[in-house]
Structures are given as C-alpha cells and as structure tokens.
Chain A
C-alpha cells in the first residue's frame, strides 16, 4: 500500500504523559499536513510542512504541541503533558507541490487521554 500511513492507530495515555505520532506520506509528496478532528467536527488545521520546512502553524496550537519533519520525508507530532481536551483523532495528509493539489489523508491516530 503506497498511501499515507500513521502510527499508532490508537493511543491511550494518562493525563500528563507525552505522546508521539508518526506519519509517513506518499513518497513523492512534498507537503505534509497535520489536522485534529474531534467527534462530530471537521478537521481542524494544526500545521503543514513543505519538505522539511514548517511553513505555518495554527495559533490554536499550544506550545505543548510540536511537529517535525527532519528529512522531508516522515513527520512526527508530539504532545507534551497531555490533557483530557487533547483527546481526538489526529490526521495526517500529504500532497504534491503543485499549487492545486488535493490532500491525501491517512487513517488517523486516535488519542484518548484518561
């Protein structure tokens, strides 16, 4: 399968713990996006990368959240000191660098904070 893959698919953690999610985009895609989706809501933009450069970050993203894409391939999203309000589905998507490209989404990583 050559689609976007995310790991882990499910993560249950206790409040205050750190968690890290990984995203492997489609291999030739230069842009990589992270979104958060809560039940009954649409995906909420968190951040995106073009190659290894993080070009935009949502103001809604607290400093407990950090994302990296060190070699312009896979990306990680780390949440430090998790809170119950962080419980959500974290979606990764990738696209080609062409300006009109649609996003290709992974299946998501579901986080439950107890």
Chain B
C-alpha cells in the first residue's frame, strides 16, 4: 500500500533564509510525487510534481523539490523564504503501478518569521 510521511508538524524559518519541508514515501511501483499548499479557508493548490527525469524539479512561487530514490524522499525547498509563504504544505504520492489514487501526508505548517 502507498503511504506518505511528513515528520514535522511545523517548521519555523526566518524570512530570507532557506527552507526545507520534509517528505518520505512508500510505494510498490514508481512514485508520482506532488506538493500542494493550502492557505486558510482555501482549497489545495498544486506547487510541483515529480514523475520522471531530473531529480530536482522546479515549481510555482520559487519552490523546488528534490527526489531521492534511495532515501525514498521528496523534500520541498526554497532558497529564500517569504512571510507570504506561511501556509500548510502537503506532500502526496500516487503509485505508478496502476492505481489513480493519491495519498496525502498529514501536512506541515510553515511559519516564516519577519
């Protein structure tokens, strides 16, 4: 069965500093990996995805993520955090071996301090 873990409930970072939000996954086939962001009282917004190819993928708002197959991780990163990046971030995985079900992690609250 596919699963996703986000080990940190909250990440605090100073504005202008780099940020990392961690995600590890488990699937039986090739993973399709996604990051979403959720602002208060809003739906989830897609940030970026890894399907195949380069391990470093770039997405919206300056975010990027690094796929590491040996560590089964897909950490979200940004070189310089903004206060407006403060939100709830979700990692999701779909097992490429047939199912079209997406499984989400429990989320990490990012707080960027001015």
Contact = CB atoms under 8 A, between A and B. Distances in A.
Interface residues of B, number: 25
7 contacts: A41-B107, A42-B4, A43-B104, A45-B102, A48-B100, A55-B100, A91-B43
Contacts of B45: 105
B25 to A, nearest CB: 13
A105 B44 contact: yes
Interface string B37-60: 000011111100101000000000
B67 interface: no
Identify which of B34, B101, B103 gathers the most chain A CB atoms within 10 Å of its CB.
B101
B102 A106 contact: no
B91 to A, nearest CB: 9
A45 B46 contact: no
Contact of A48 (B92, B101, B107): B101
Given A100-B32, A100-B49, A42 B43 contact: no
